[in-house]
Amino acid sequence: MPKTMAERSPSSQLIVFLVGKVGMKDAIRVATFLVQWGQVARALKHAPTKEEYMVHWKESQATYYRELKRFRKVWPDDVTPQRRWQWVEANVKLPRGRLDDRAVLALLVAPAR
C-alpha cells in the first residue's frame, strides 16, 4: 500500500528537490509550467511547439521564455519540458482529464526519483 503524504520522508518529494534548486515560489511555478506543458501535450497528442503552447495558453513569447528559463534552472540540459513530462505521465498519478491545481499538487508531492 502506498504511503500517505504524512508517512513519506519529505526528502522523497519532488517539492523538496525543486525548492532546493529554485526556492518555494519558483518551485511551484516550475511544477505549474510542467503541468501546463503536459495539458497541451495531451490535447495535441505530441510534444507541443513553442507556438502551440503559447496559442493554447494565450501567452506571450516573453512569458513562455520566462517560464522556460525557470524550468531550465532546475533541468539545464532539457530544451523543453517534454522529457520531464513523459516521466511524470509514466510515474505520477495525475487526473486523466483536464489538469488543474490538483495535478500540480500531485506532482509536487510525488517521489523525486
- Would you give per-residue pLDDT tens digits along the chain (113 residues)? 444 433 444 446 888 888 999 999 999 999 999 989 999 998 999 999 999 999 999 999 999 999 999 999 999 999 999 999 998 888 877 766 667 666 777 777 676 65
The residues pairing with 13 across neighbouring beta strands, listed in sequence order, are 111
Separation between Cα atoms, residue 28 and residue 76, nearest integer Å: 17
In angstroms, the Cα distances linking 69 to 5, 62, 87 are 30, 10, 20
Identity of the residue numbered 61: Q
Q: What is the three-class DSSP state of 31? A: helix
29, 70 Cβ separation under 8 angstroms: yes
Whole-model pTM? 0.79
